């Protein structure tokens, strides 16, 4: 039996990210031109895990076809990568349905819809050193206390209390501990990456628990199982809504998630996959990234923190800043696009102003339109 294997949970619908997920599942949404599931797979390969199972559900066939096409034997080497389409009812249920296929003493559970540079090897070593049944990756977040949880740890990083979204009274009671070796950590995000001993499978079958964060971890603490928290300073972003999705693009362009970088060759902060066909007097600021088959007409300005996808044409005098432009898009002349997202297969007319706008797939925006702080739904013509 091998020491480590991994499960990537990739079954979510991405409802909070609509309309970006109106035609693709959340794990296939691209951040700096790379689907988030690819970041998850590469993360585990870098940690030298040789057996990876991807748990699929929503649009599972499309996901499986993409992974089979993208992650060929040439890329995987001696790594065994499987895809399983299932009808799970939670994160723990997805794991339970795969227990017969797990052939290792220890297991990493990861997510296909986050972007992180969690030091995976160090996380796995931490789990092995502590010897507990489970280890949770955590990160302190500078946000309002009610949004994230609290955790009570001792100086050995053993967890005594874990509340994902604590009520005020629970927070008050947890702070009353008299033990000097216990430390209360507030605003702690469960980042959705876990290490387990294989015995967790037996517990899931015995209890029927469905969700790791809300059910399994409280159960383990209540029944005196050793549960540890890995708390370090690393990059983590749940690109679960349009705002955090844009942030993830900006952060990768700024190299905040190093060694995770945008796709393409790095020309001093400008990442280019293919050849950019351009007219005269083009301005490209850094950091930015470009996919393949990009056409920039005269006097186009691509300003900082912009991601341009594949098969994109941008008309004369158009200015784009801090935006994510997906694939198969035509943008007219004289447009001003700021902090916006344009999804696949869209056509934008001339002299259009987009400011904090979201344009769903297959939309057509007429010339001289002005769209601010608004979402245009799938297939609309305006």
pLDDT digits (tens, 9 = 90+) for 44-56: 999 999 999 999 9
Residue 199 in any domain: the answer is no
Residue 156 in any domain: the answer is yes
∠ CA 329-334-337, rounded to 5°: 60
Greater model confidence, 316 or 258: 316
Residue 158 and residue 89 in one domain: no
User: How high is the mean pLDDT of the chain?
Assistant: 91
Residue 99 and residue 179 in one domain: no
Residue 167 and residue 298 in one domain: no
Q: Is the C-alpha dihedral spanning 31, 292, 319, 334 positive or negative?
A: negative
- What pLDDT is attached to residue 172? 47
Residue 296 and residue 217 in one domain: no
Does residue 43 register a pLDDT over 70? Answer: yes
- As a whole number of angstroms, the distance between CA 306 and CA 290 comes to 9
Contact indicator for 43, 144 with CB cutoff of 8 Å: no
Residue 2 and residue 32 in one domain: yes
4-24 pLDDT, tens digit per residue, is: 999 999 998 888 999 999 999
- What pLDDT is attached to residue 20? 96
Q: Would strands 30-31 and 34-35 be described as parallel, antiparallel, or unpaired? A: antiparallel
When pLDDT is cut at 50, 70 and 90, the band that residue 171 belongs to is: low
Final residue belonging to a domain, choices 181, 216, 234: 234
Residue 195 in any domain: the answer is no
> DSSP 3-state assignment of 74?
helix
Q: Is the C-alpha dihedral spanning 120, 122, 128, 130 positive or negative?
A: negative
DSSP codes, 138-190 = EEE-SS-TTTSEEEEEETT-BEEEEESS--HHHHHHHTT---TTEEEEEEEEE
Residue 137 and residue 276 in one domain: no
Does residue 84 register a pLDDT over 60? Answer: yes
Share of the chain above pLDDT 90, in %: 79
Contact indicator for 20, 242 with CB cutoff of 8 Å: yes
Residue 339 and residue 292 in one domain: yes
> CATH code at 325?
2.160.10.10
Residue 172 and residue 256 in one domain: no
Nearest to 162 by CA among 194, 189, 198, 196: 189
- What pLDDT is attached to residue 364? 98
- What pLDDT is attached to residue 332? 98
> CATH code at 59?
3.90.550.10
Residue 21 and residue 113 in one domain: yes
Nearest to 305 by CA among 319, 288, 282: 288
Structural domain count of the chain: 3
Which residues make beta-bridge pairs with 330? 313, 347
Residue 291 in any domain: the answer is yes
Which residues make beta-bridge pairs with 266? 271
Greater model confidence, 48 or 149: 48
When pLDDT is cut at 50, 70 and 90, the band that residue 225 belongs to is: very high
325-357 pLDDT, tens digit per residue, is: 999 999 999 999 999 999 999 999 999 999 999
The range of the structural domain enclosing residue 136 comes to 132-189+208-234
Residue 227 and residue 309 in one domain: no
108-143 pLDDT, tens digit per residue, is: 999 998 999 999 999 999 999 999 999 999 987 765
Residue 175 in any domain: the answer is yes
277-311 pLDDT, tens digit per residue, is: 999 999 999 999 999 999 999 999 999 999 999 99
Does residue 145 register a pLDDT over 50? Answer: no
When pLDDT is cut at 50, 70 and 90, the band that residue 86 belongs to is: very high
Residue 113 and residue 150 in one domain: no
Residue 126 in any domain: the answer is no
Name the phi and psi angles at 238, rounded to 5. Answer: -90, 105
Residue 107 and residue 243 in one domain: yes
* Overall average pLDDT of the 251-272 stretch: 94
- What pLDDT is attached to residue 220? 95
Nearest to 85 by CA among 61, 110, 101: 61
Q: Is the C-alpha dihedral spanning 141, 145, 149, 152 positive or negative?
A: positive
Greater model confidence, 238 or 297: 297
């Amino acid at each position: 039996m091998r020491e480590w294997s991994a499960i990537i949970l990739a079954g979510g619908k991405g409802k909070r990210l609509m309309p970006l997920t109106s035609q693709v599942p959340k794990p296939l949404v691209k951040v700096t031109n790379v689907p988030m599931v690819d970041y998850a797979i590469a993360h585990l390969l870098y940690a030298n895990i040789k057996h990876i199972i991807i748990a699929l559900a929503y649009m599972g066939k499309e996901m499986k076809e993409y992974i089979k096409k993208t992650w060929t034997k040439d890329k995987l080497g001696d790594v065994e990568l499987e895809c399983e389409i299932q009808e799970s009812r939670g994160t723990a249920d997805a794991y339970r349905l795969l227990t017969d296929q797990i052939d290792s003493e220890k297991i990493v559970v990861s997510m296909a819809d986050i972007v992180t540079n969690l030091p995976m090897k160090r996380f796995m070593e931490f789990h092995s050193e502590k010897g507990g049944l489970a280890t949770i990756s955590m990160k302190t977040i500078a946000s309002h206390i009610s949004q994230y949880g609290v955790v009570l740890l001792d100086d050995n990083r053993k967890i005594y209390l874990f509340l994902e979204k604590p009520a005020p009274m629970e927070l008050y009671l947890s702070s009353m501990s008299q033990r000097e070796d216990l430390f209360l950590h507030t605003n702690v995000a469960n980042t959705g990456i876990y290490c387990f001993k294989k015995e967790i499978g037996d517990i899931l079958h015995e209890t029927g628990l469905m969700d790791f964060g809300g059910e399994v971890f409280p159960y383990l603490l209540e029944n005196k199982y050793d549960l540890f928290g890995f708390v370090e300073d690393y990059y983590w972003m749940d690109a679960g809504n349009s705002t955090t999705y844009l942030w993830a693009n900006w952060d990768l362009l700024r190299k905040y998630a190093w060694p995770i970088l945008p796709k393409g060759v790095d020309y001093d902060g400008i990442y280019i996959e293919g050849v950019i066909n351009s007219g005269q007097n083009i301005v490209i600021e850094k950091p930015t990234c470009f996919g393949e088959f990009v056409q920039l007409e005269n006097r186009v300005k691509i300003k900082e923190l912009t991601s341009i996808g594949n098969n994109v044409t941008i008309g004369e005098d158009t200015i784009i800043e801090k935006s994510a432009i997906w694939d198969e898009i035509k943008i007219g002349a004289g447009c001003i696009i700021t902090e916006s997202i344009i999804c696949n297969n869209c056509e934008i007319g001339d002299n259009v102003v987009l400011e904090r706008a979201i344009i769903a797939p297959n939309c057509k925006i007429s010339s001289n339109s002005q769209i601010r702080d608004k979402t245009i739904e799938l297939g609309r013509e305006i």
